[in-house]
Amino acid sequence: MTDIAEFRSTAQRWLAAEPDADMRAELEALLSGSEADLIERFTGRLQFGTAGLRAAVGAGPQRMNRLVVQQAAAGLVDHLLAAVPGAAEAGVIVGYDARRKSDVFALDTARVCAAKGVRAMLFPHVVPTPVLAWNITEMGAAAGVMVTASHNPPADNGYKVYLGTGSQIVPPADTDIAACIDRVDPCAVELAPEDHPLIEMLGREQIDAYLAFVPTVRLCPNIPGVPVAYTAMHGVGGATLMEAFDVAGLPAPAVVAEQQEPNGAFPTVSFPNPEEPGAMDLLMAKAASVHAVVAIANDPDADRLGAAIPTPEGGWRRLGGDEIGWLLADHILRHTSGDDRLVVTTLVSSSLLGRMAVAHDIECLETFTGFKWIGHTVLQNPGKRFVFGYEQALGYLVTTQPLDKDGITAAVMMAEIAAVAVAEGVTMQDRLDAIVATYGRHIMAEKSVRMAPADGAAAVARLRAQPPTEVGGHAVTSVQWFDEAGLLRLQLGPAVRVQVRPSGTEPKVKLYGEGIGTDPAALLEALAALLG
């Protein structure tokens, strides 16, 4: 576009096509408001990539709304029909969370599928992401769509796409789907009627099938459960987790009542992410009041797991993502056997899992950031018996289905770890201390530097082109570049590594440090200064 008249013309066309009154009012306000706001909303569109789509709900191609979702659904279906034999008959499973407009985004996706002759299987109510993903392979679907913004701020919504393998999309499927989306006119997508015969409303059967699978993750099923506290963080995992504990033979956890029911406004947390400071405060208070052994949290779509444990001083502390990974890995590796076992982690997670694998004489593979790559790595190694995968951003897979992070089955296993600890006369902190005694104290640190996406990518590119010879007074002993992740790794002697990459979903550059017996936090400050 070359002038404001063209932006106004496009916005008027969107206004004519927009089905929702609130979005029409927003478009009218944009048309009568500042030219800068109108240009921002109508320059380009949301890019379909690492996490599908994710943005604030709002009008125009740079926000999440029904026209954007219909365009994405049409592009996805076009890709499936071209690339997946039998896609029309196999169909697409669609689920959604409790965020603003999730239900209509999901229904529109089903209507787009049906209009193109593709079977759509729609959950008629909110559902946790792991239940949706688990059922893709169980039902032999060609793909799955989950309408969720996961742990993003309350104003956001998103569109997560799964392949028929039950794992999230990886290249080249993401770029192929994006190209198909580009060819779709968002103002002219055909919708089938809501009662179209190709739209099948799923029932209780799919949830029951998932729950029937849950007990298989237990490795010590005869150990009695112990007191556990839990929060659903206003998300959609609460009811399913309570049933999962029951079918797994564990006592019901004490829940944070204020956060147990789905509520897309997230009234008690400004940022519904268990990683955020303060997000688990109500949970830890509940845990202390019921003398819990461990406190566990799901994020709003229940694919992540947060946890907290009592401290020797009588308080509670939130565990880091790697600490949770160490506890899960230690438990799994001690209670399984075989040299064909495989564990998988990501570039920015702790290297301690690799040390555990060496001690157990099994293979550990390291892959790119994003849990989709863990699923991809499992698929690329069919001769190995996958037993565990994790990323430090609270993503854990303790079983083989789905090939994506699952905060519900991971929660069941964390409760079992607590039960085994009590049965063996130790605390959760004792368990972590034993891991440190065996493998060394791995100290993790993270830092984010807010930068516009283009500036962040350019800063990392400059570091890659001219890597520093020292960081914070420590000599750089090796440099590695991981292209798929856009990540630069600097090794600072045998005990410290620092890493940097631009975020794929936020305007920031992310820095990661790991020191064995030394705190890398100061080195991340020094690395941040090099970004310019």
Residue whose pair of structure tokens reads 């519904």 in the numeric block:
272
Q: Report the CATH architecture of 223-439.
A: 3-Layer(aba) Sandwich (3.40)
As annotated, the active-site residues are: 150
Alpha helices in 86-237 (DSSP H): 87-90, 102-115, 129-139, 173-182, 204-213
Position 204, amino acid: R
Which is nearest to 348 in space by CA: 391, 318, 388? 391
Give the separation between CA 345 and CA 355, rounded to whole angstroms: 12
Q: Using alpha carbons only, give the angle 125, 128, 131 rounded to the nearest 5 degrees.
A: 100
Q: Report the share of the chain in percent with pLDDT over 70.
A: 99
For 109, the token pair is 């996706």
Given a cut of 50, the residues of the chain with pLDDT beneath it are: 1
User: Given the DSSP bridges, would you call strands 442-450 and 385-391 parallel, antiparallel or unpaired?
Assistant: unpaired
Model pTM?
0.95
What are the two backbone dihedrals, phi and then psi, of residue 197, each rounded to the nearest 5 degrees? -65, -20
Give the separation between CA 410 and CA 406, rounded to whole angstroms: 6
Which is nearest to 307 in space by CA: 377, 239, 233? 233
Residue whose pair of structure tokens reads 């365009």 in the numeric block:
71
Laid out side by side, the sheet with 316-318 consists of 254-255, 228-231, 294-298, 305-310, 316-318
Give me the pLDDT at residue 262, please.
Answer: 97
* Cβ neighbour number for residue 37 with a 10 Å cutoff: 13
Q: Does the domain spanning 47-202 belong to CATH 3.40.120.10? A: yes
Residues in contact with 1: Cβ distance below 8 Å, sequence separation at least 6, in sequence order: 7, 10, 42, 43
Kindly list the domain boundaries of the chain, sorted by start residue.
Answer: 1-43, 47-202, 223-439, 442-529
The reply to whether domains 47-202 and 223-439 share a CATH topology is yes
Q: Residue 428 CA to chain centroid, in angstroms?
A: 26
DSSP characters over 369-427? SSHHHHHHHHHT-TTSEEEEEEETTTEEE-SSSSSS--HHHHHHHHHHHHHHHHHTT--
Residues in contact with 138: Cβ distance below 8 Å, sequence separation at least 6, in sequence order: 206, 209, 401
DSSP characters over 426-486? --HHHHHHHHHHHH--EEEEEEEEE--HHHHHHHHHHHHHS--SEETTEEP-EEEEETTTT
Helix, strand, coil percentages, rounded to 5, for the chain: 40, 20, 40
Q: Using alpha carbons only, give the angle 298, 301, 304 rounded to the nearest 5 degrees.
A: 45
The helix (run of H) or strand (run of E) holding residue 201 is strand 199-201
Q: Convert the pLDDT of each residue in 230-279 to its tens digit.
A: 999 999 999 999 999 999 999 999 999 999 999 999 999 989 999 999 99
Q: Is 26:59 a contact under the CB 8 Å cutoff? A: yes
Give me the pLDDT at residue 2, please.
Answer: 53
Q: Convert the pLDDT of each residue in 199-219 to its tens digit.
A: 999 999 999 999 999 999 999
Instruction: Count CA atoms closer than 13 A to 140's CA, side-chain side.
Output: 6
Tell me the CATH class for 442-529.
alpha beta
